[in-house]
Amino acid sequence: MEATMEKTVTKETPIGELLMINNDVTPILMDIGMHCLGCPASQMETIEEAAMVHGIDPDLLVEKLNAFLTQSA
């Protein structure tokens, strides 16, 4: 159960940290229009900021990311 807890992300999780947790989330981010994952600004951007910039509900994005991370654990 601890491994799952370590992989839980929040709206405050930076994109760079999310990608270090599991780089396989890249397609989810690309699907919302976040195509510049390699740029330094996106690495420091939080999940909430990224969602807002791309017109996505941040709570739904966090829910989708955590569901993916739980499945891939």
Looking at residue 70, its pLDDT comes to 92
pLDDT for residue 3 is more than 50: no
Contact 66, 8 (CB under 8 A): yes
pLDDT for residue 10 is more than 60: yes
Contact 70, 7 (CB under 8 A): yes
Q: 13-63 pLDDT, tens per residue?
A: 999 999 999 999 999 999 888 888 888 888 889 999 989 888 999 999 999
Looking at residue 9, its pLDDT comes to 95
Looking at residue 5, its pLDDT comes to 43
Looking at residue 2, its pLDDT comes to 38
Measure the CA–CA gap between 39 and 15, rounded to whole angstroms: 11
Q: How many CB atoms lie within 10 A of CB 58?
A: 17
